[in-house]
Chain A
Amino acid sequence: MASISPAPAEVRPASNAEAVVATRAVTKHYGAVHAVDGVDLEIVRGELFGLIGHNGAGKSTLFKMMLGLIPLTSGEILIDNASVSGGGFRAVRRKIGYLPENVVLYENLTGLETLQFFSRLKGAPLRDCAPALERVGLTHAARRRVREYSKGMRQRLGFAQALLGRPQILFLDEPTTGLDPEAIREFYAILRGLRTEGVTVVLTSHILAEIQERVDRLAIMAAGKVQAIGSVQALREQMDLPLWFEIRIAPEHLGAVRAALGHLPISAIEARDDHVAVQCRREAKMAVLEALAALDGKVLDLHVREPSLEDVFFGFSD
């Protein structure tokens, strides 16, 4: 477990925009198991918010509580200022789109019938079903039964379902499972479009590399608690993970590079042929850069590798 605890200010994003999803000291206990343990989150309108964590970290449980699918042991969850356990939640649900993890749809219905069924339940206009299918690239399969759909097609149909009724808040649990890279790009392009319309998106993913450039903020969950919350960059800085300089030099200059960096707080140097990798702490970054620049033409190329979200994630959750 990381010793760094999140700064309280990080619970709320920098802007003082209105919170669309707010959890206050939310807990869920199954007997002695604390699946979710005192979670405070505020997600603002138009934000693309990621929730990451190992299996069993509590993110799916938190998700289901946000949707009012399972009762809270204690605490409070407000969606658009309405309590999920309150009577006014039906009106809020009409503004919510949900894509469950490994979405299961009715095998005997066609793609179009599936959307029509959920559209009726949401009270959304049926004429939006065909455009929703088109948006996820399933127009060609509209009249085929779901039982003939591939995993990726089912996932896309599930996403189209979540978009019905022009939801203001989208909850997407592992939304890109089963999608090919092309479809994943299209998926995030749709999300970006929705965000400009003010739609709030909360998503979980286990493919960290995929979500790190795409979410505004994220929360790392482990053992039922939010271990850290903020933008990827803020989390990197908070975690204070070392970064790498990847340098290309002529092999004969390796000694000169070692000498130039010798007095700096370098944590590792690995050299192979004309390639040198230098690891240092964030605060030494500029000093290393200056020392390398002073080598005056001996450095042929340079690339700074920031810790990935994966590094940050393991730093917080291990």
Chain B
Amino acid sequence: MEFRQIGIIAGKEFWDRIRNRWVLAVALVFTVFALAIAYFGGAQQGAVGFRSIEFTIASLVSLVIYLIPLIALILGFDAIVGERERGSLDLLLSMPITRFELLLGKYLGLAAALAFSTVAGFGLVAVVLATQLNLGALLHYFGFMFSSVLLGMAFLSLAVMVSVFAADRTRASGMAIALWFFFVLVFDLLLLGALVVTGDRYGGEVFPYLLLANPADVFRILNIFALDDVRSLYGLATVFPRALADPWLLGLVMFAWIAAPLGIATWRFRK
């Protein structure tokens, strides 16, 4: 494996997103939403203004869980199929580069663009809020930013997998949207439905672990259930297994969600 070749592809993907202002636009979206939520998130309760970092993170999590998977899927769905459909893939593959290097370079470049937007967008908000936060709150917020980046990486990995499997861009976009619907909208409903139907008869205690089969839920657990304050706030401390609140375990699961789709994509792309 030649890291230089990976770097060249990654560099091109990253700078393409900087130059076409994709990074800037996404960062701005994050900043505006985060600021709006931080200051007006409690408006329903009749209070305007920054309240606490826990409230802010909890609100941001419900936003990010919709937004970041969507952005990541849109960013990555045509990584390979786009080159294939436009007709530039053959030329790329005739270069002294392996298919794995090309795929990984594409992924890393897009991941860098997404991570950069996420950190810049939410980081700006941290700067604005810095005076009102103590160190612990800042750490919570950085934890939220880091897990947002991981969430983006996981869905980007799924998107790149789609871009390898799809026969054309139209189908790739359809598959990407379907993945978003499944993981973000349908998955929890299915789980809840299954839980209600089966009741307590078998393995009610297994259901929390099934949440690990969805990177969006892993992200939610990382940010909400891992915080003691928030757990008690939501009244979850009793029903939620302690082991699942281990950030290291959750981080590991997230990395698996990043590596596995990329691995499958590589296997398919090499065929």
Place the interface of chain B in its size category: 20 to 34
Contact B91 A93 (CB under 8 A): no
Contact A118 B87 (CB under 8 A): no
Q: Choose the segment among A37-45, A98-106, A230-238, A278-286 that binds chain B (4+ C-beta atoms closer than 8 Å).
A: A98-106
Known: A121-B5, A121-B8. A104 touches B91 (CB 8 A): yes
Question: Are the CB atoms of A69 and B87 closer together than 8 Å?
Answer: no
Known A-B contacts A102-B87, A104-B87; A122 and B12 likewise in contact (beta carbons under 8 Å): no
Residues of chain A at the chain B interface (Cβ within 8 Å): 64, 67-69, 90-91, 93-94, 96, 98, 100, 102-106, 108, 117-118, 120-123, 161, 171
A174 to chain B: closest CB distance in Å? 13
A-B pairs, top 7 by smallest CB distance, nearest first, are: A104-B87, A93-B96, A98-B94, A121-B95, A104-B88, A90-B96, A120-B8
Complexed CA–CA distance, A91 and B2 (Å): 12
Point out the residues of chain A lying under 8 angstroms from B90, CB to CB.
Answer: 64, 67, 69, 98, 100
Contacts A100-B94, A120-B8 given; 6 further ones with Cβ under 8 A?
Answer: A69-B90, A90-B2, A103-B87, A104-B91, A121-B9, A122-B96
By a CB distance below 8 angstroms, the chain B residues around A93 are 94-96
Q: How far is the CA of A161 from the CA of B95 in the complex (A)?
A: 11
Q: Is the interface of B mostly helix, strand, loop or mixed?
A: helix
Residue of A nearest to B83 (CB): A104
Report B66-122 residues with CB < 8 Å from chain A CB: 86-88, 90-98
B54 CB–A CB distance under 8 Å: no
Interchain CA distance A52-B9 in the complex, whole Å = 34
Contact of A121 among B16, B87, B88, B96 (CB under 8 A): B96
State the CA gap A93–B90 with chains docked (Å). 13
B242 CB–A CB distance under 8 Å: no
A214 to B86, CA, bound (A): 31
Contact of B91 among A94, A100, A120 (CB under 8 A): A100
In the complex formed, the residue of B with least CB distance to A89 is B96
User: In the bound complex, what is the Cα–Cα distance between A118 and B4 (angstroms)?
Assistant: 13
A90-B98 in contact (CB<8A)? yes
Task: Kindly state the separation between the CA atoms of A103 and B91 in the bound complex, as whole angstroms.
Answer: 8
Query: Interface code B1-31, partner A: CB below 8 Å = 1, 0 otherwise?
Result: 0101100110010001001100000000000
Among A91, A96, A117, A123, the residue within 8 A (CB) of B94 is A96
Question: Are A117's CB and B8's CB within 8 A?
Answer: yes
Residue among B88, B93, B95 making CB contact with A106, cutoff 8 Å: B88
Partner of B95, one of A103, A122, A171: A122
Pick 20 A–B contacts, CB within 8 A, sort by A: A68-B94, A69-B93, A90-B2, A90-B97, A94-B96, A98-B91, A98-B94, A100-B90, A100-B94, A102-B87, A103-B87, A103-B91, A104-B88, A106-B88, A117-B8, A117-B12, A118-B95, A121-B8, A121-B9, A161-B91
Given A108-B16, A108-B19, A117-B12, the answer on whether A100 and B87 have CB atoms closer than 8 Å is yes
Name the CB-closest residue of A to B271: A71
B residues near A100, Cβ cutoff 8 Å: 87, 90-91, 94
Q: Report whether A67 and B94 are in contact in the complex, using a CB–CB cutoff of 8 Å.
A: yes
B86 proximity list for chain A (CB < 8 A) = 104
Q: How far is the CA of A98 from the CA of B91 in the complex (A)?
A: 7
Which residues of B sit under 8 angstroms from A68, Cβ to Cβ?
Answer: 94
> Whole-angstrom distance between the alpha carbons of A120 and B97 in the complex?
11
